[in-house]
Amino acid sequence: MVRDIASQLTHTYDPSQGHYLFIQTSTDHVNPIYQPSEYDKGDEIRFINGMGDNRAMLSIASTQLVEITLGDLQNTEINLNSSDEFWIDDYQENMGPQSAMIVTQESDGTSSIRALSYYVTSPPLANSNLVNWNNIVHLSQEKWVATGTIANTQSSGDSPASPSVRTAIGIIEWQGNLSVAPILTSFSTGDEGQIHNLFSTGNSQVIVATNTGAYQVKDDGSINEIDIPSQSAVTDSQGKTWFIGNQGTTSIATFHNGIIEIEELAKPIPLEIEISEYESGIIFMHGMDVNGAFEMMTLDTTVNDSIESGRGFLNFAFLTFFSIVLLVMGWTVLDRFRNY
């Protein structure tokens, strides 16, 4: 679904004017969703997510979602039914809008999590453990996994004025009652690494990937460390997670059914990967080359022994994006800057 978003939605930025967002209706025609004016709403977009049923969701304004039906040039502004004011940093569904979660930035500067059912909100998460929540994904039944950062003021090597920041992983439960806030039932802090990917791999499992390692979150509440640092990660249709390393890396790690495998690549990865996508057996990797140009490379995972023989690299398809950046990549980079 991510590939559909990237191929039908385009974000551009003109320094002299501002942000533009277009939807592509055919190979040679695009329609604007918005254009910059006195108030450039492009600066307020915090995420864009595919919902798995030909829809994409984003947020531009406080307590408002924008639903885009891909391929039909339809975008609908949805005002949430809430008595509070907050910005929406992430939105995810469990089989549709009847059961959803949002990560919010509150009016007092803190972050929280709310449940939604048909865009009516629950009260905010009460026990946030002083976490700056960033993202959330569905785990199983009434369970969700949220990630963020937390200041570590207890470390002996930290200055009280500038404590280290650690990754935070929480399991959230919500029983479907909109009068009751979601509950943080399990919580863990990791290293000082940066979370770059969070996704469900199926079978009631979520993978959290960071540049210092990864974590496997299970339905029973356990959070297991995986010793695989990565620059980007993606899960395929079989639930196998592919961990992509830094520029120059000569191997790629996979994790599936609790087993780690390291497979050698025919050539070193030539890009500093920012985001990766999976579709129909192909991993698309977007990043920068040594000259700072945006490019893309592809890896075919369907060909037997393709990685070892080098046939998996179709052609290193170095496609320069010029001033137009793939929407998903653009907001991933923007979100990383916001979190620093």
Q: Is residue 194 located within the same domain as residue 328?
A: no
Whole-angstrom distance, CA of residue 209 vs CA of residue 198: 6
- In the numeric block, which tokens belong to residue 28? 């040679």
Q: Which residues contact 28 (CB under 8 A, 6 or more apart)?
A: none
Whole-angstrom distance, CA of residue 113 vs CA of residue 108: 14
Instruction: Quote the domain boundaries for residue 320.
Output: 230-340
CA neighbours closer than 13 Å in the CB half-sphere of residue 65: 27
Higher-confidence residue of 122 and 330: namely 122
How many Å separate Cα 158 from the centre of its chain?
29
% pLDDT > 90, the chain: 31
Alpha helices in 176-302 (DSSP H): none
Question: Would you place residue 206 in the very low, low, confident or very high pLDDT band (cuts 50, 70, 90)?
Answer: very high
CA neighbours closer than 13 Å in the CB half-sphere of residue 95: 4
Q: Is residue 223 located within the same domain as residue 252?
A: no
> What does the pLDDT average to over 191-199?
85
The per-residue pLDDT for 124 is 94
In what order do the strands lie in the sheet containing 294-300?
272-279, 282-288, 294-300
The per-residue pLDDT for 303 is 62
Q: Is residue 220 located within the same domain as residue 236?
A: no
Q: Is residue 297 located within the same domain as residue 318?
A: yes
- Is pLDDT of 304 > 50? no
Q: Is residue 222 located within the same domain as residue 114?
A: yes
% pLDDT > 70, the chain: 72
Higher-confidence residue of 33 and 155: namely 33
The per-residue pLDDT for 122 is 95
The per-residue pLDDT for 71 is 64
Mean pLDDT of the chain: 77
The per-residue pLDDT for 168 is 92
Question: Would you place residue 32 in the very low, low, confident or very high pLDDT band (cuts 50, 70, 90)?
Answer: low
The per-residue pLDDT for 162 is 62
Report if residue 242 sits inside a domain. yes
CA 148, 137, 45, 25 torsion: positive or negative?
A: positive
Q: Is residue 163 located within the same domain as residue 221?
A: yes
Q: Is residue 188 located within the same domain as residue 246?
A: no
User: pLDDT by residue (tens digit) across 95-146?
Assistant: 889 999 999 998 888 899 999 999 999 999 977 768 999 999 999 989 999 9
In what order do the strands lie in the sheet containing 241-244?
232-235, 241-244, 251-256, 259-264
Report if residue 138 sits inside a domain. yes
Q: Is residue 306 located within the same domain as residue 339?
A: yes
**Dihedrals phi, psi of 112, to nearest 5 degrees:** -155, -175
User: pLDDT by residue (tens digit) across 281-292?
Assistant: 888 887 888 887
The per-residue pLDDT for 33 is 65
Indicate the SS3 state at residue 193.
coil
The label of the residue with tokens 């785990």 reads 139
Q: Is residue 236 located within the same domain as residue 258?
A: yes
Report if residue 6 sits inside a domain. no
Least confident of 36-40, 192-196, 210-214: 36-40
Query: CB atoms < 10 A from the CB of 161, how many?
Result: 5
Query: CB atoms < 10 A from the CB of 285, how many?
Result: 23
The per-residue pLDDT for 63 is 92
The per-residue pLDDT for 153 is 58
- Is pLDDT of 263 > 60? yes
